Structure formats: C-alpha cells, structure tokens
C-alpha cells in the first residue's frame, strides 16, 4: 500500500513533468494562429483584387472618354467598339452576367453635353449607354454642370462607368458586391462638339 506522502510526491512529480513538457506546444500554437493567418492572407488578397478593379474602372472611364473626345463624329458602330474596348480593359475581371452572378457587372455611358447660349444650364446633345439608362436634361448629373466647367455654347463629353466587384470570398467578408463609380469630363479635341450619327 502506498503512503499519502509518497502519492503526493508522485503526483507533484507528474504535474511538474507535464508543465515542463514542451512537446506539442508548437502544434497547439499553430492551430490557434493558422486560422488568423489564413483569414489575414485572404483579406489582403481580396483588398488587392478590389483595388485592381477600382483602378481599372477608373482607367477605362478615362480611356473611352478620351477616345470619344478625340473624334469629330461617332457612329453607333464606333460606340459599340468603345464598349468592346472597355470590356477587354477590365480583364481578368468579369463584366457580363454569369451563372454565379446574374446581375450586370459593368455599366457604361457616354454623353455629349452643351451649355446653352445664356450659360445657365447644360443640355444633353446625345447619350449612349451600355447596360444603363441614357442621361437626359433632367438628370442630376447634368444639372450639376455649371458654366465654370464649360463656357456658354461649348460642349463636354461626360463618361460614366459603374463596376460591381464581387469578391471570390464574399461569403466570408463582403456578401454584396462593392460598387466602383467613376465620372470623367473631356473637352472635344477636334472641334466645338463631338457629333454622334444615329445616337
């Protein structure tokens, strides 16, 4: 029969041995830290992809607006070409509805605006849009244009782009898509106004 003092010594020794034992500590620490590191990595990757999508949206809005402003006359075919250029500029980001994302991802609009002779309000000369509504004289965006931006009788090309970025890990971080909006204003390069035939 073991004495109580001997039992106490044995138990104390076992407890001290257990406390001093470092085997498996790294595994336990990794099990705690790994999920945090993985989430941080996925979060940084998602932020990087979102920033890339934002920059491409801004770049394509500036590009198609600049291309439109360089022309004296545009046709419906020219506008269709601009939409195709914009879609290719957004690659590898999707721009059209897919099975997993049924809503339209890329919306574009080009509008020619002219300030009236009195310099009091801007008027829409023509507007073309892809997956979006065309602008009219009553649109808030048109009413916001002042004669400090364009003088009386002069015109301006207004380019609007909206892109909905859907994260590949949206179930973890952001469930709804993030919308990037960009509006650029360009003065016509080769004339008083850009004419759109058939617009």
pLDDT digit string, tens, across residues 56-106: 999 999 999 999 999 999 999 999 999 999 999 999 999 987 776 667 789
pLDDT digit string, tens, across residues 125-168: 999 999 999 999 999 989 999 888 899 999 999 999 999 988 87
How many CB atoms are located within 10 Å of the residue 76 CB? 12
SS3 call for 87: helix
How many CB atoms are located within 10 Å of the residue 184 CB? 19
Asked whether the whole model's pTM tops 0.85, one would answer no
Both tokens assigned to 117: 């002779």
- Quick one: 21 exposed, middle or buried, by C-beta within 10 A (0-12, 13-18, 19+)? exposed
């Amino acid at each position: 029969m073991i004495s109580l003092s001997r039992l106490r010594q044995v138990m104390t020794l076992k407890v001290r041995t257990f406390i001093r034992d470092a085997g498996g500590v790294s595994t336990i620490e990794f099990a705690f830290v790994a999920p945090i590191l993985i989430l941080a990595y996925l979060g940084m990757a998602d932020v990087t992809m979102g920033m890339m999508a934002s920059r491409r949206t801004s770049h394509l809005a500036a590009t198609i607006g600049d291309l439109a402003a360089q022309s004296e006359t545009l046709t419906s075919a020219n506008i269709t070409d601009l939409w195709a250029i914009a879609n290719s500029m957004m690659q590898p980001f999707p721009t059209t509805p897919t099975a997993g994302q049924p809503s339209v991802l890329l919306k574009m609009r080009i509008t020619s605006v002219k300030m009236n002779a009195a310099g009091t309000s801007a008027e829409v000369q023509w507007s073309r849009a892809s997956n979006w509504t065309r602008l009219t004289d009553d649109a808030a965006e048109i009413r916001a244009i002042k004669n400090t931006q364009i003088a009386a009788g002069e015109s301006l090309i207004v380019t609007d782009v909206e892109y909905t970025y859907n994260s590949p890990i949206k179930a973890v971080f952001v469930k709804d898509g993030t919308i990037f909006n960009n509006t650029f204003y360009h003065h016509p390069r080769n004339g008083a106004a850009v004419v759109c035939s058939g617009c």
